[in-house]
Amino acid sequence: RILVLPTARCYCDKIWNNLNGCRAPGAETFTLPYACPMDHIYDLPSWFSGAQGEMPEFREPGFLEDSRVPDAVTSSVGRVVVGRNGDTRAGYPTWSLGAGGGGSVGDGDGGDETPLNLPHGFTGPDAVAALQGLEDKRVIAVDFLGNEGTFCGFGDHAANVRFDKRTHGPLRGDQYYCFTELWQDQGSPRG
């Protein structure tokens, strides 16, 4: 399988400059959050360098909506609803039925069966067992993997360590900017 990354939502711009209200100078009225470029979230050079270990092949957000993707792919969709432990901040895709699946979606895109459910706090072996019913699907859509404690590792300490080592660089999320407001509050230092 190939990972299709979710749309990244940024709550602050990422530029090598001062930021005014988390926005680039001159863009103070820009609406936050916004769908941001991948390099705002991921360290792409590290992802592709292999220095941190093997990272999965991926496709950009929106890939499955591209008209060049064959119908055989877009019409073969299995859905997975992940328990959120009460966290509703991310919203829900229309097919997840608002929180927890529980019914046929019938949206005509090949995901018309009842979504599978994974509990909050699932592990790798839990996911493998739950997803066996989707082996024939070309696409597996997961509605949420966002809050702390959603995924609780691979069920094996050594596998957890390997994953952490592989993802440290690509997912480290370095930020380099200066909030104008904080800079002014500190007396506008020059050093």
Can you say how many angstroms the Cα of residue 37 is from the centroid of all Cα atoms in its chain?
Answer: 12
Looking at residue 101, its pLDDT comes to 42
Among candidate residues 1, 8, 138, 2, the one with its CA nearest the CA of residue 61:
8
Using DSSP, state whether 122 is helix, strand or coil.
strand
Looking at residue 189, its pLDDT comes to 66
At 147, list the tokens: 């809050």
Looking at residue 191, its pLDDT comes to 52
- Tens digit of pLDDT at every position of the chain (191 positions): 888 888 888 888 887 778 888 888 888 888 888 888 888 888 888 888 865 457 888 888 889 899 999 999 999 999 998 888 877 776 777 777 654 444 333 344 444 578 888 999 999 999 999 999 899 999 998 888 777 888 999 999 999 998 888 888 888 766 666 677 776 777 766 65
Using DSSP, state whether 48 is helix, strand or coil.
helix
Phi/psi at 127 (5° precision): -65, -45
The CA dihedral of 24, 28, 30, 31, to the nearest 10 degrees, is 110
